[in-house]
Amino acid sequence: MPHTGELDLIRSIRARAATPPGALRLGIGDDCAVLRPLANHDILVTTDFSLEGRHFRRDWHPAASAGHRCLARGLSDLAAMGAKPIAAFLSLALPAGTLRKAAGRQWVEGFIDGLLGLAKATGTPLAGGDTSTAPGDHILADIVLLGSAPRGKELHRSTAYPGDALYVTGILGGAAAELEALSNHPKRFSRSSPTDNHPHLYPQPRLAIGQRLRTLATAAIDISDGLSTDLAHLCEESNVGAIIDAATLPRIEAEHLALHGGEDYELLFTAKASTKLPKRIGGIPITHIGTITKNRAILISHSGNETPLVPAGWEHQL
């Protein structure tokens, strides 16, 4: 049985998580949510943990950033497969007494603000979830995201073919650079807002691009672990290799951050060499960075010198 603080929390979330018209017919309030996807659409599902001390720190991340990032990670997975979000479910475990302290209540409100802000911006209704007391003193959040795509038209990471051109969206390395800055000056971004450009604190999942790519791309993956690691995943699943031209990488940060820095949440995708790609989709640059090869090796070319690109996306440690 939830205690008073939790009931108040659920009531306030429910009041703010309005059900927009769409696949969600019934949201928070009954025993289950009810979804009715469009005819001839499949449902795609992804889940992500956001654990204090592992994915965010209360002394580094503004609460709104922790909430935004909790949802952004799952939305980026939907984007990678060309899906449109239809509902999110949030389970939140809070250390005992969190909601009895003003600072704790404020943190939880900030987290929900950040999460619902991105939910609204991306048309993702929060349709249910659970709250509980965490056994320890860390905040634990788990999010389930459902999306839909026309039947059989979703994008996979396993369908790249030798000769395909390799592309990436946006600018790489910004999230890793911002995390580095945050670790040096934890209070530096305490007044940041989701509307500012903050690639680590407030990443923007590429949902519109993913949906557009359904008819343009042959394969896609989102860059959550770093370009080198996620390219290795795509090559492994497609049983191909790749060669990247270092000079073409879209970056303003050091090359190693663009290649290996995690959490950019951009899309890495392949398209037939004959497919004409726009220079930008929805204002976001699309950059041709290399080619898919038959040989299983992943190479990087610096002025024509080809060397193996070793996947080195870091597991970020907070």
Residue linked to tokens 């990678």:
80
Min CB(48)–Mg ion separation in Å: 9
Min CB(293)–Mg ion separation in Å: 23
Query: Toward Mg ion, which CB reaches closer, 224 or 270?
Result: 224
- The phi, psi pair for 150, rounded to 5°, reads -55, 140
CB-based contact 199:284 (threshold 8 Å)? no
Secondary structure (3-state) at 174: helix
96 contacts: CB under 8 Å, gap ≥ 6 = 133, 134
Min CB(34)–Mg ion separation in Å: 28
Query: Toward Mg ion, which CB reaches closer, 62 or 210?
Result: 210
Min CB(45)–Mg ion separation in Å: 13
CB-based contact 42:148 (threshold 8 Å)? yes
Query: Toward Mg ion, which CB reaches closer, 65 or 224?
Result: 224
**Cα–Cα distance list, 76 to 72, 84, 111, 209 (Å):** 6, 11, 19, 11
Query: Toward Mg ion, which CB reaches closer, 6 or 222?
Result: 222
CB-based contact 121:71 (threshold 8 Å)? no
Which residues of the shown chain bind Mg ion in the complex (CB under 5 A)? 77, 222, 224
Query: Toward Mg ion, which CB reaches closer, 253 or 263?
Result: 263
CB-based contact 269:220 (threshold 8 Å)? yes
Min CB(4)–Mg ion separation in Å: 38
